[in-house]
């Protein structure tokens, strides 16, 4: 199973195995990873599952679609490497993915 | 004090359909919502996005679904209390007393919480002294535009609210529109008009910038905005308008002594009652083994909750299950003309 690492702003780090086919958001919510709220439940409608993706991984992910970019506009402190974790589908290729959660989601 | 059979908290699709399920059983309900209109997440988060999993409706938008539900509950002449949030509840002789943020008081044997993920509030600016100026120099909505006449306004956001107010206020004030990327999601024709104004020197547009700090004492004097590379520029500013959409906050519900699981309320699946007698939770806000956050699940949950509400509101009457196709009582309540 692909391993995903979630890092909080405090530096707290948690690596968990996430089933292929789940999203990075679902992996976090099902494993009680703090810092990802996912209020809308994965509908790309709230921007509270916002994460920063480590540079080397960011470019390996499928391109950010307009709808996601529109929501990232509203996220807390968006950066160039911002993604909504509900839009990142876990695959074998993403084994080792590292994401950082923002200071807060709202 | 308003007496009713059921107080419904939340006017989203699930709250609206609960009105219907209660209404056909002859129960009156009063609906309270923090937004200024019905529809909840459907109207606020995705009014134009098609929904494909409402039974019997192959495709409809959030707005259409809301309109249809409102049409469906028209016969019950339900009172809606918008722009109000339920602040506190207390129990008095088997009855719930519900108080709102506008000090309206309701008395009812039943409360149905159909609050989704919480009430909507504007997403606030995160720089550290933003709170100090909120309501004074920083606004998240516009109630009186005359306040901004001949002033320097910095508007943040890339959606329709930001674009519409840039265009509108540019007629009476000095506007700078600031957005974090060069693509806007607001209506293209509005953006084109703003770009024309920019050419004529009537509006200033700064893209790929975000707010980094606010300078001022009692009131704001200027703001600093920063791009991705850390380059900072200062903009003289009297007022900031910020349009970063809405967030959902659970609010006082967490203080009501209900059995919570994270941000959801535990219910039993027989009647969707919480650990408090007469308080029910349906839709996204409730949780139980196997719960799915789907509108269609919320409809079912409301139907079952309405039965228990009936028993509590009409303790001396026997509940009878009836079909809308055959029940003369239901048809009368719906205003159906029978032959």
Tens of pLDDT, residue by residue over B241-262, are 999 988 888 889 999 999 999 8
Report the DSSP beta bridge partners of residue B6: B29, B110
What per-residue string of b and e applies to B232-263 under the rule 16 or more CB within 10 Å gives b?
Answer: eeebebbbbbbbbbbbbbbbebeebebebeeb
Question: Is residue B339 over pLDDT 70?
Answer: no
Helix (H) or strand (E) holding B290: none
**What pLDDT, on a 0 to 100 scale, did the predictor assign at position B275?**
97
> In chain B, what are the domain boundaries?
2-121+247-333, 124-244
Q: The domain spanning residue A78 has which CATH number? A: 3.10.20.30
- Whether residue B50 contacts residue B70, with contact meaning beta carbons closer than 8 Å, is answered with no
Of A43, A66, A73, the CB nearest to B180: A73
CA distance A6 to chain B (A): 20
Question: Is residue B263 over pLDDT 90?
Answer: no
**What pLDDT, on a 0 to 100 scale, did the predictor assign at position A45?**
85
Count of domains observed in chain A? 1
As a whole number of angstroms, the distance between CA B33 and CA B248 comes to: 13
pLDDT tens for each residue of B214-226: 999 999 999 999 9
pLDDT tens for each residue of B282-328: 999 999 999 999 999 999 999 999 999 999 999 999 999 999 999 99
Q: Is B41 on the interface with A (CB under 8 A)?
A: yes
Interface TM-score (ipTM) > 0.85: no
Top CATH class, B2-121+247-333: alpha beta
Q: Is B67 helix (H, G, I), strand (E, B) or coil?
A: helix
Stretch B39-65: mean pLDDT: 92
Contact criterion met (CB < 8 Å) for B41 and A45: yes
Q: Is A106 part of any domain?
A: no
CA distance A73 to chain B (A): 7
Supply the mean pLDDT for chain B. 95
Q: Give the residue from A34, A38, A39, A42 with the most B CB atoms within 10 Å of its CB, the best one to mutate.
A: A39
Of A41, A66, A70, the CB nearest to B293: A41
Q: Is B303 helix (H, G, I), strand (E, B) or coil?
A: helix
Stretch B52-58: mean pLDDT: 96
Residues of A in contact with B181 (CB under 8 A): 69, 73
- Beta strand residue intervals within chain A, DSSP E: 3-7, 13-17, 50-53, 82-84, 97-100
Of A69, A70, A74, the CB nearest to B123: A74
- Which positions ≥6 away from B114 have C-beta within 8 Å? B8, B9, B10, B12, B14, B15, B18, B281, B282, B283, B285, B298, B302
**What pLDDT, on a 0 to 100 scale, did the predictor assign at position B67?**
97
Q: Is A19 on the interface with B (CB under 8 A)?
A: no
Confidence of residue B94 (pLDDT cuts 50, 70, 90): confident
A residues 43..72 contacting B (CB < 8 A): 43, 45-48, 66, 69-70
Q: Is B320 exposed, middle or buried (0-12, 13-18, 19+ CB in 10 A)?
A: exposed
Of B46, B181, B248, the CB nearest to A39: B248
Contact criterion met (CB < 8 Å) for A73 and B158: yes
Q: Is A67 helix (H, G, I), strand (E, B) or coil?
A: helix
Of A78, A79, A106, the CB nearest to B247: A106
Stretch B225-229: mean pLDDT: 91
What are the distances in angstroms from CA B261 to CA B31, B120, B246, B275, B288?
25, 20, 24, 12, 10
Q: Is B228 on the interface with A (CB under 8 A)?
A: yes
Tell how far CA B167 is from the center of its chain: 26
Backbone angle region of A96, left / alpha / beta, with phi > 0 → left and psi within -120 to 50 → alpha:
left
Q: How many Cβ atoms from other residues are within 10 Å of residue B274's Cβ?
A: 21
Quick one: which of B119, B114, B94 has its CA closest to B29?
B114
Contact criterion met (CB < 8 Å) for A40 and B45: yes
Question: Is residue B169 over pLDDT 90?
Answer: yes
Stretch B145-170: mean pLDDT: 95
CATH code reported for the domain at B124-244? 3.50.50.60
| Percent of chain B predicted with pLDDT > 70 | 99
Q: Is B284 on the interface with A (CB under 8 A)?
A: yes
Q: Helix H segments across chain A?
A: 24-30, 55-58, 66-72
Q: Is A105 part of any domain?
A: no
Q: Is A53 part of any domain?
A: yes
pLDDT tens for each residue of B66-79: 999 999 999 999 99
Give the N- to C-terminal CA distance of chain A in Å, as an integer. 31
Count A/B contacts: CB-CB distance under 8 Å. 50
Quick one: which of B77, B85, B119, B78 has its CA closest to B104?
B85
* Predicted confidence pLDDT, tens digits, chain A (106 residues): 999 999 999 999 999 999 999 999 999 999 999 999 998 888 888 899 999 999 899 999 999 998 899 999 999 989 999 999 999 999 999 999 999 999 988 8
Q: Is A50 helix (H, G, I), strand (E, B) or coil?
A: strand
Which residues constitute the domain of residue A53? 3-100
Q: Is A77 on the interface with B (CB under 8 A)?
A: yes
- Four-CA torsion A18, A24, A29, A33, nearest 10 degrees: 80
- Which positions ≥6 away from A105 have C-beta within 8 Å? A35, A36, A37, A47, A48, A49, A50, A75, A76
Confidence of residue B211 (pLDDT cuts 50, 70, 90): very high
What are the distances in angstroms from CA B19 to CA A28, A36, B16, B245, B323?
36, 34, 5, 28, 17
Residues of B in contact with A64 (CB under 8 A): none
**What pLDDT, on a 0 to 100 scale, did the predictor assign at position A90?**
96
As a whole number of angstroms, the distance between CA B218 and CA B176 comes to: 22
B2-121+247-333 and B124-244 share one fold: yes
């Amino acid at each position: 199973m692909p391993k995903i690492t979630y890092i909080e702003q405090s530096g707290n780090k948690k690596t968990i195995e996430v089933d292929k086919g789940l999203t990075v958001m679902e992996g976090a919510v099902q494993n009680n990873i703090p810092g990802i709220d996912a209020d809308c439940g994965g509908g790309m409608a709230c921007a509270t599952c916002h994460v920063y993706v480590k540079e080397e991984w960011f470019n390996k992910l499928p391109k950010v679609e307009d709808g996601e970019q529109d929501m990232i506009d509203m996220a807390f402190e968006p950066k160039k490497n911002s993604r909504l974790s509900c839009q990142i589908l876990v695959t074998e290729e993403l084994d080792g993915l590292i994401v950082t959660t923002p200071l807060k989601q709202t | 004090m308003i007496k009713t059979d059921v107080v419904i908290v939340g006017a989203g699709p699930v709250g609206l359909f609960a009105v219907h399920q209660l209404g056909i059983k002859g129960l009156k309900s009063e609906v309270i919502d923090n937004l200024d209109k019905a529809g909840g997440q459907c109207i606020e988060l995705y009014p134009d996005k098609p929904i494909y999993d409402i039974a019997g409706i192959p495709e409809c938008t959030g707005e259409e679904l809301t309109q249809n539900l409102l049409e469906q509950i028209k016969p019950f002449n339900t009172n809606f209390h918008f722009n109000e949030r339920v602040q506190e509840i207390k129990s008095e002789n088997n009855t719930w007393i519900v108080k709102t943020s506008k000090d309206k008081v309701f008395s009812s044997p039943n409360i149905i919480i159909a609050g989704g993920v919480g009430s909507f509030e504007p997403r606030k600016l995160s720089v550290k002294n933003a709170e100090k100026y909120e309501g004074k120099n920083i606004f998240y909505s516009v109630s009186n535009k005359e306040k901004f006449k001949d002033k320097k306004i910095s508007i943040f956001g890339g959606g329709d609210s930001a674009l519409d107010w840039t265009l509108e206020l540019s007629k009476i004030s000095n506007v700078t529109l600031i957005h974090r990327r060069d693509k806007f999601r607001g209506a293209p024709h509005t953006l084109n008009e703003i770009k024309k104004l920019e050419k004529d020197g009537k509006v200033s547009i700064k893209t790929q910038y975000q707010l980094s700090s606010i300078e001022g004492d009692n009131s704001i004097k200027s703001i600093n905005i920063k791009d991705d590379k850390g380059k900072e520029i200062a903009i003289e500013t009297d007022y900031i308008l910020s349009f970063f959409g809405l967030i959902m906050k659970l609010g006082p519900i967490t203080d009501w002594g209900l059995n919570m699981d994270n941000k959801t309320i535990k219910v039993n699946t027989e009647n969707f009652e919480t650990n408090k007698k007469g308080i029910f939770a349906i839709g996204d806000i409730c949780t139980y083994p196997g719960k799915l956050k789907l509108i269609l699940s919320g409809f079912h949950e409301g139907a079952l909750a309405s039965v228990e509400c009936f028993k509590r509101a009409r303790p001396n009457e026997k509940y009878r299950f009836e079909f809308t196709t055959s029940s003369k009582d239901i048809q009368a309540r719906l205003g159906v003309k029978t032959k």
